[in-house]
Chains A and B, each alone.
Chain A
Amino acid sequence: MNYTQSTALEMARAIREGKVTSPELVQAAKARIEDVDGSIRAMTALDWEAAMRRAEEVQARIDRGEDMGRLAGVPMAIKDNICMRGLPAACGSKMLLEFNPPYDATAVDKLQGAGAVIVGHTNMDEFAMGSTTETSFHGATHNPWNLQKTPGGSSGGSAAAVAACELPCALGSDTGGSIRQPAAFCGVTGFKPTYGAVSRYGLIAYASSLDQIGPLARDAADCAAIYDIIHGKDVHDATTVDSVCGALDALDGGICGLRVGVPEEYFAKGLDEDVRARVLETAETLKGLGAQVENFSLGMVKYAVPAYYILACAEASSNLSRFDGIKYGYRADEAEDIVSLMSRSRTEGFGKEVRRRILLGTFVLSSGYYDAYYVKALKVKALIKQAFDAAFAKYDVILSPAAPTTALGIGQSLSDPLKMYLGDIYTVSVNLAGLPAVTFPCGFDRDGMPVGAQLIGPAHGDKTVLRAADAFQRATRFHKMTKGGAL
């Protein structure tokens, strides 16, 4: 039997039941990637030798009767900005093309401890700055549903790899929608946990106060299973908190009485008609499952994108300062002194979008502008959080589109960054407020491209949003429609 279209939980169960072995699954993934990734270009680094060794190790332990958990033996990938020893983590940048991390990210450590077999890195927008996975130095990733379209971004490689059935699941990172938007564009399920639920140790930072690692997978159950493994307080990340666990076991399909709020502002002008229709149908489906759906006004919505770009770029300008050509990464040749060594290494090593955001961030933190931009954006962030708090006093979850459109054509948005930034309108507030949110496929547009809906929960409501998405998936088949065949 071919397992490439199975979920991660199905694969792991088949291994436990002796129907297939972990090395066989890794081999199948390798064959599939070799078959289709030439046109998708989701993977940036692969180490099959190490993956096979690891798979055999895990298989041997399972064969000895060891209980390694619910995802043991499953092949998966991680985004190019998550550190793992032995695998170059380039962040899609010329700057880090040959950077070999000397340590493992906590999430990687936990996954490997639970028997997952990490086979490689997935493509991304350079330093996670972008919504299309086109700014990667490795080249653009293509959407498996239509190779002329982008997979979204920045975790476009992870989304495309899952959508093309190269792998059942992958880790991504989400700073302003970078897991949820590509998941929506590629017709897979993407989950951004509550800020602080998953350790960021080993995640190459874009904006530290917003970044969060999370899973992209076939369905909400796989996301829950991965979340259960990677979440938790970490001694290496002071911003982690004790978080809810047992997400997978909480998936009981029951959402009767669940209070669902639908923010009017999220359905205003600028939203694609097909996307609007699919998300409203999603609301109806949830209603049919017993949920109480109600429209409401969220407020502060139009301030989210500007506040997000100020805060994210400010932190990025500082976080990316360490790439100076001194310790690791790209170094310009023949610099005459230290200043030119640093400035030339940075100018040559970073791509255009990264340089744009570093400059923007440097500007808003500059003396004389700090209060007008950074401090004001922090106030907006606090108000947005308040608006969500008020909403969650009335609702258990908030339903919205994942993005105003479906996947854009390759090359379509790079020319107009402002338009690209506005595409983040439904996702960035979630990061500003530190909330959990899941996006999942809820139908297709007129061109057959997947549409994604988003469910947002209150802080530490990770289980709730996953349960609601899972209930929807038990009642629908959109998540089962994969691009598992020829491409």
Chain B
Amino acid sequence: MKWELVCGLEVHVEMNTRTKIFCGCTTEFGGAPNTHVCPVCTGQPGALPVLNRQVVENAMMTGLALGCDITRLTRFDRKNYFYPDLPKAYQISQLYAPICTKGGIEVTTEEGKKKFIRLHEIHMEEDAGKLVHDPWTESTLCDYNRCGVPLMEIVTEPDFRSAHEVIDFLTKLRSTLQFLGVSDCKMQEGSIRADLNISVRPAGGDKLGTRTEMKNMNSFKAIARAIDTEARRQIETLESGNKVVQETRRWDDNKDASFAMRSKENAQDYRYFPEPDLPPVYIDDAWLDKVRGSLPELADAKRVRYREQYRLTEHDIGILCQSARLCRLLEELVALGTEPKEAANWILSEVLRLCKEAGLDAGDLQLDAGRLAHIIELLTAGKLTRASARQALEAVFADDADVDAFIREKGLLVERDAGAVAAAVDQVLRDNPDAVKKFRTGNEKVYGFLTGQCMKLLRGKADPKDVNAALREALAQ
């Protein structure tokens, strides 16, 4: 029998607001345990939550960008369960009136077809703390720093039919969230995590099979592996005449396999009810219009603009538009007078190479656009050789070096001394009669060698164009 995968996502996104969702504590990642806490986020008796408006606006922006309906009277509910990382023993979340419903994202299937993945809802909630096992004392310790960090949970309909679609969806979602500036979306720090609801059914069927929920994937690659592995496991289960058990499973990336965590019979009753400590949030037209007006340009609009205004190639646009940070760098360079094509080339070749070498995500790039623009300007004016320009960029990339000071210190500025160039060419021709002879008998390959010798004599400080011209002329004689 031919089987079909049916998959839906629950994507948890940590927002990058400065403070937590219900108190004034910082949301900064890390920090010594229990230093980013207060009576509210540690659930002290008598403490009360107060909603951070920025969290609502971030959720509104996301909803607007994804074509959702914004719920005008949105409410919070309590999700009750006991766990040591949840100090109040309930999570303030949204069940009955989530802030966004509907909307969706268009993905491309393996066959290259466009397909619309529908969202069910987006809701706001607070994150829980972290448990740390201390093997030394054989005890488990609680770190509440993450308690109350604002989350958005983006829930899709079960519209995915392949891991490819899921990854394309997540890539586009992440890009949108980054362009909106509502989340850093760093998987390693857990600021975007996706849980999967996976089931299989006979291909083309319309009834949903029993699903399992998969947690604990910490990369897109792990998500793709988890989907394929779980679909195969379910198919094997069904084909051997057994039933799929509705359960939550935990993905183990090292073992490349998943393990059952809890089954439906042990499923928790969360006893949701409206959060009495927070009045409903009314989103009026004025507020909605204000947020709509503050939406930044998103990837799709940038693609069009980069094509029509900057005249970049589809290939370059494709790479640039995956990263809000790279787009910002490009636009800053262009604003500083760099020619768009040249700016794109520098980003895609040099900047990305440096990121890769440093093991740095492009999103974390700390490069000052003004410095790079200055380097490109010097290069274009013939005051730097391309090699020197690269060297200067490396210095800027590594420790934000001052470009002019660095060039001065290293003596990288091109010297326009026609006499020196002519003398160098003369000497190279004199010292390498064999190579000259080869060239004159038609071996073009030695030309590069001769240029290199000239540049070496000039200690790299001449404009290669000048050297080229002088060498060609001398060889032609």
Nearest opposing residue in chain A for B38, CB measure = A103
Are B87 and A327 within 8 A (Cβ)? yes
**Are A365 and B87 within 8 A (Cβ)?**
no
A200 at the interface (CB under 8 A from B): yes
- Which one of A242-250, A316-324, A416-424, A476-484 is at the B interface? A316-324
Binds B, one of A15-23, A94-102, A439-447: A94-102
User: Is A238 within 8 A of B88, CB to CB?
Assistant: no
**A321 touching B45, Cβ below 8 Å:** no
* Contact yes or no, A318 B273, CB < 8 A: yes
Selected from B45, B46, B269, B277, the residue in CB contact (under 8 A) with A367 is B269
Q: Would you call A318 and B42 a contact (CB within 8 A)? A: no
A105 CA / B47 CA spacing, docked (Å): 8
Given that A238-B51, A322-B89, A326-B142 are known contacts, is A205 also in contact with B80, CB under 8 Å in the complex? no
Contact A315 B276 (CB under 8 A): yes
Is A338 part of the binding interface, using a Cβ–Cβ cutoff of 8 Å?
Answer: yes
Asked if residues A208 and B276 are in contact (CB atoms below 8 Å), the reply is yes
Query: Closest residue of chain A to B87, judged by CB?
Result: A327
Q: Which of A91, A202, A322 contacts B88 (CB 8 A)?
A: A322
Nearest chain B CB to A38 CB, angstrom units: 29
Q: A318-B90, A321-B90, A362-B271 are in contact. Are A96 and B50 (CB under 8 A)?
A: no
Q: Does B82 contact A (CB under 8 A)?
A: yes
Contact A105 B39 (CB under 8 A): no
Residue of A at shortest CB range from B23?
Answer: A236
Residues of A with C-beta under 8 A to B73: none
A201 at the interface (CB under 8 A from B): yes
CB distance from A262 to the nearest CB of B (A): 32
Within 8 A of A (CB), among B256-279: 269, 271-273, 276-279
Residue-wise interface mask of B (22-53) relative to A, using a CB-CB cutoff of 8 A (1 in contact, 0 not): 00000000000000000100111111111100
The answer to whether A472 has its CB under 8 Å from any CB of chain B is: no
Q: Within 8 Å of chain B (Cβ to Cβ): is A209?
A: yes
Asked if A374 lies at the interface with its beta carbon under 8 angstroms from chain B, I say: yes
| CB under 8 Å from chain B, chain A span 329-369 | 338, 342, 362, 365-367
Task: List A contacts of B43 (CB < 8 A).
Answer: 322, 327
- How close is A297's CB to chain B, nearest CB, in angstroms? 30
- 1/0 contact string of A71-88 vs chain B (CB within 8 Å): 000000000011100000
In the complex, A193 Cα to B341 Cα: how many Å?
Answer: 69
Known contacts A318-B90, A321-B82, A322-B87; is A200 also within 8 Å of B48 by CB?
yes
User: How far apart sit A200 and B49, CA to CA, in the bound complex (Å)?
Assistant: 11
Asked if B44 and A321 sit within 8 Å, CB to CB, the answer is no
Query: In the bound complex, do residue B273 and residue A374 qualify as a contact, i.e. CB atoms below 8 Å apart?
Result: yes
* B84 CB–A CB distance under 8 Å: yes
CB neighbours (8 Å) of B80 from chain A are 317-318, 321, 365
B47, B51, B278: the one contacting A103 at CB < 8 Å is B47
The answer to whether B89 and A366 have CB atoms under 8 Å apart is: no
Q: How far, in angstroms, from A267 to B269 measured CA to CA in the complex?
A: 43
The yes or no answer to B78 lying at the interface (CB within 8 A) is yes
Most chain A CB neighbours (cut-off 10 Å) among B39, B44, B45, B269: B45
Tell me how far the C-beta of B151 lies from the nearest C-beta in chain A, rounded to whole angstroms: 19
Assuming the contacts A321-B80, A321-B82, asked whether A101 and B277 have C-beta atoms less than 8 A apart, the reply is no
B276 close to A102 (CB less than 8 A): no
Distance from A358 Cβ to chain B, minimum over Cβ atoms (Å): 11
Contact residues in B for A238 (Cβ distance below 8 Å): 48-51, 277-279
Residue on B nearest A363 in the bound complex, by CB: B271
Residues 147-161 of B contacting A (Cβ, < 8 Å): none
Closest to A127 in B: B45
Instruction: Please give the distance in Å from A346's CB to the nearest CB on chain B.
Output: 9
Q: Which of A89, A236, A326 contacts B45 (CB 8 A)?
A: A89
Indicate with 1 or 0, residue by residue over B46-74, a CB within 8 angstroms of chain A CB atoms.
11111100000000000000000000000
- On whether the beta carbons of A324 and B39 are closer than 8 Å, the reply is no
**With a CB–CB cut-off of 8 A, which chain A residues contact B140?**
338
**Is residue A1 within 8 Å, beta carbon to beta carbon, of the partner chain?**
no
Q: A208-B277, A314-B273, A321-B88 are in contact. Are A235 and B50 (CB under 8 A)?
A: yes
Determine how close the nearest CB of chain B comes to the CB of A312; give it in whole angstroms: 11
| A318-B278 contact given A101-B44, A102-B44, A203-B46, CB 8 Å threshold | no
A237 at the interface (CB under 8 A from B): yes
Contact B46 A239 (CB under 8 A): no
Q: Which residues of the other chain, B, contact A322 by a CB distance below 8 angstroms? A: 43, 45, 87-89
Which residue of B is nearest A208, CB measured? B276
A83 to B39 Cα, complex, angstroms: 11
In the assembled complex, A370 has its CB within 8 A of some CB on chain B: yes
Q: Which 8 interchain pairs have the tightest Cβ spacing?
A: A321-B89, A365-B271, A209-B276, A208-B276, A204-B45, A202-B46, A204-B46, A83-B46
Other than the given A102-B39, A239-B276, 10 more pairs (CB < 8 A) read A81-B46, A103-B47, A237-B50, A238-B48, A238-B49, A322-B88, A326-B142, A328-B44, A365-B273, A367-B271
B-contacting residues of A (Cβ < 8 Å)? 81-83, 89, 91, 96, 99, 101-103, 105, 200-205, 207-209, 235-239, 314-315, 317-318, 321-324, 326-328, 338, 342, 362, 365-367, 370, 374
List 29 A-B residue pairs with CB atoms under 8 Å apart, sorted by A's residue number. A83-B46, A101-B46, A103-B47, A203-B46, A204-B46, A205-B45, A235-B50, A237-B277, A238-B48, A238-B50, A238-B279, A239-B277, A239-B278, A239-B279, A314-B273, A317-B80, A317-B271, A318-B78, A318-B80, A318-B90, A318-B271, A321-B82, A322-B45, A326-B142, A327-B142, A365-B273, A366-B269, A366-B271, A367-B269
